[in-house]
Amino acid sequence: MSKPTFQIVTTDNQAYTRGESQLGIFMDLGGYSPRLESYEHDGDYLQLRYSGGYRQLLPEHRIKHIAYLDQD
């Protein structure tokens, strides 16, 4: 069973899509470009989990919607 593809869109129309890198966030990593793998709700935040163990917290009030595409 494959993992579902998802996209998180914020109130300022930033999109975070599974499998993509957020280069602006990780500019100082020496060329390493972590890919978004998953997310989970963490209190008042949405915790984005990237390859290499990197994490990013988004306040839940900034989340506009989360869309899923199950790719079985």
- CATH code for the domain of 64: 2.30.30
Tally of structural domains, the chain: 1
What does the pLDDT look like over 58-70, one tens digit per residue? 999 999 999 998 7
Q: Which domain holds residue 40?
A: 5-69
The reply to whether the predicted model has a pTM over 0.85 is no
Residue burial 45-56, b: 16+ Cβ < 10 Å; e: rest: bbebebeeebeb
What does the pLDDT look like over 5-48, one tens digit per residue? 999 999 999 999 999 887 666 666 666 788 999 999 999 999 99
